[in-house]
Chain A
Amino acid sequence: MTVHLPPLAEAGVTLTELPPAARFSLRLRPANRKAAAKGLGVALPERVGGIAEGKGRRALCLGPDEWQIDAAPGDTPDLPADLPHALVEITDREITFRIEGPRAMELLSIGIARDLRRLVPGTGCRTAFDGISAVLVREGEVAFTLAVWRSFAPHVRGVLEVGLRELASGL
Chain B
Amino acid sequence: MLLIHCPYCDETLPEAEFAYAGEAHIARPADPMALSDEEWRDFLFIRSNPRGTHYERWRHVHGCGRFFNAVRDTVSDRFVTTYRAGEPRPDLSASTGAAR
Contacts and interface: CB of A to CB of B under 8 A. Distances in A.
Interface of A: 47-49, 62-64, 66, 113-114, 118, 125-128, 131, 133-134
Given A48-B64, A127-B62, A114 B13 contact: yes
A131 B63 contact: no
Given A49-B9, A63-B8, A113 B63 contact: no
B9 A48 contact: yes
A83 B1 CA distance: 42
B11 to A, nearest CB: 8
A170 B10 CA distance: 37
Contacts of A47: 10
B64 A128 contact: no
A66 B13 CA distance: 19
B16 to A, nearest CB: 5
Contact of A133 (B1, B13, B15, B62): B62
A128 B16 contact: yes
29 contacts: A47-B10, A48-B9, A48-B11, A48-B64, A62-B64, A62-B65, A63-B64, A63-B65, A63-B66, A64-B64, A66-B65, A113-B1, A113-B14, A113-B15, A113-B17, A114-B17, A125-B9, A125-B63, A126-B63, A126-B64, A126-B65, A127-B13, A127-B17, A127-B63, A128-B16, A128-B17, A128-B62, A133-B61, A133-B62
Contact of B16 (A66, A125, A131): A131
Contacts of A126: 62-65
A125 B13 CA distance: 11
A64 B66 contact: yes
Contacts of B11: 48-49, 118
Contacts of A62: 64-65
A166 to B, nearest CB: 21
Which 4 A-B residue pairs are closest in the complex by CB-CB distance?
A63-B64, A113-B14, A128-B62, A48-B9
